Structure 1
Amino acid sequence: MRGWWREITGLVLPVVCGGCGSPRTLLCEDCGRALYGTWPCRVRPVPEPLGLPVVHAAAPYEDAVRAVLLAHKERGALGLAAPLGRALAAAVRAAAPSGTGVGPLLLVPVPSARRAVGARGHDATRRMALAAAGELRRAGRPCRVLPVLRQRRAVADQAGLDARSRRVNLAGALEVAGGGARLLAGGRVVLVDDLMTTGSSLVEAARALRAATGPGISLYAQVSAAVVAAPPLSFEINRN
């Protein structure tokens, strides 16, 4: 019900830019340039956790990009799913270039805690993944969203936890839903999320995928990850 209310209020309330608050636009030109105006880059947290797949991000997590992600995720600015999906699609293309892998792209969202989704009234990552898949299909790239990951136990709020505490908090927390492993074998798997900080969530998601598919399916070599944003210092271009 809360999600429908947000959809309706988005039609009647004054529109302001999710990045800077400029009136009469959902995303102004400058904030759009910050979100998807650069080429996606490989990102690595420091320290880089064992088991992290190759991750590409569309933009540094700062200023307008941070504001847009928070407006969509925490304040229910659902209209921002489309531009965020466009940015995520660019990161997916970098993570899985055309001609790599067999079958369609399979976008697997990293799930949020059920209580967090309930409190927000929508699943932000899944919404962005669907928008990204639509963007990729319109560009001629076969693509599906497979929300096959789910939490098998409760986890603590990640906010305020350091890298080690996050890894401990998430270890063994995810699993693939029944029948999901068969679906994963049908294409090129890309884990997707809104933000990578320490990489703990992506490590656990990749572990759950490998555990579900087993040694008979060469999933590990094909799994990569794409996110909308990551901390500026994690971008490889900033290390040269």
Structure 2
Amino acid sequence: MRESWQGLRQELAGLVLPMGCAGCGLARVRDRLCDECSSVLEGAVPRRVWPSPVPSGLPRVYGALTYAGEVRAALLAHKERGALGLAAPLGAALAGAVRMASREARGMDTIPGMRGCTRVRRSWPPVTLVPVPSARRAVAGRGHDPVRRMALVAARTLRREGVPARVLSVLRQRRIVADQAGLSAAQRAANVAGALEVVPGGESLLGAGESVLVDDLMTTGASLTEAARALGGVTGAAVLAVRSAG
């Protein structure tokens, strides 16, 4: 209910008075992003990324964008300030990274939905997007779960392109972890070690097909590494943004 009311307030505010673009902050727009900032998200080119150092057990990670400038601003507006409408362009960009992260996709000649394709495989194996969970107190404080919201948009985007995709939130925190901000790579790894687990019955829900971890941001890779451990060694992950190019 709180999330729905927050979204309604955002929509009403946008109808009454145009706001500054969530990306550059300069243009006055009604749909949250100006044309120039929208083009940055729409033009995202997914790539293989990795932190330095690379944690042991980190799956292959593909990122859509670099965490800087208008991308950083839009992500924070969606995540921390409840600009829920930004889930659409952010989730669409995340979908590209999910395609790249899929193990079967790496063996295909072409990938549905990607520019420049001349041949497209007729069938596509099921892809399950598994969001990396946030702390319950963080979700409660924000009034929504930004990673899951973007994952749902990414799955819808993939389904429109013929990819059988779904979202399953089968991971949960088993203990409280400290805020990661300001921690070193080693401290982050220790902070989240053993913190995640699969919900009861989660393994049976995953079933066949490829599971891809999804998150909004990769810094040191600690959270993705812990999530992969909890899922039993998943090999692919997709993030919307990475702090530095890999």
CA distance in 1, matches of 2:216, 2:163: 21
Given the alignment, which residue of 5, 8, 23 partners 2:28? 23
Instruction: Determine if the alignment matches structure 1 residue 168 to structure 2 residue 168.
Output: no
- Root-mean-square deviation (CA), in Å? 1.7
Give the corresponding residue for 1:223: 235
Task: State the secondary structure of the residue aligned to 2:28.
Answer: coil
State which drifts further: 31-40 or 118-127.
31-40
Q: How far does residue 186 in structure 1 lie from its aligned partner after superposition? A: 1.9
Indicate the SS of the match to 2:58.
coil
Whether 2:181 is the aligned partner of 1:139: answer no
Structure 1 stretch 6-15 or stretch 46-55: which is displaced more? 6-15
Note if contact 1:102-1:188 (Cα within 8 Å) is conserved in structure 2. no
Distance between the aligned counterparts of 1:131 and 1:82, measured in 2? 6
Contact conserved, 2:124 with 2:163, CA < 8 A, in 1?
no
Q: Which residue of 2 aligns with 1:215?
A: none
Long gaps (5+) in structure 2: 109-122
Q: CA deviation at 1:224?
A: 0.2
Name the structure 2 match of 1:217.
Answer: none
C-alpha change, 1:99 and 1:185, in structure 2 (3 Å) is farther
Cα distance in 2 for partners of 1:134, 1:45 equals: 29
Aligned counterparts of 2:153 and 2:52: Cα–Cα separation in 1: 30
Displacement over 3 Å in runs of 4+ = 98-103
TM-score by length of 2: 0.87
Tell me the distance in 2 between the aligned counterparts of 1:76 and 1:49: 32
Instruction: Identify unmatched segments of 5+ residues in structure 1.
Output: 211-219, 236-240
Q: Map 1:61-210; keep pairs closer than 5 Å.
A: 61-96=67-102, 97=105, 103-210=125-232
Work out the CA distance in 1 between the residues paired with 2:107 and 2:72.
32
Q: How many residues align?
A: 224
SS in 2 for 1:186: coil
Aligned-pair identity in percent equals 59
Q: Is the 8 A contact 2:91 2:152 kept in 1?
A: yes
- Mapped contact 2:64–2:93 kept (Cα < 8 A): yes
Residue 13 of structure 2 is matched in structure 1 by 13
TM-score if structure 1 supplies the norm length? 0.89
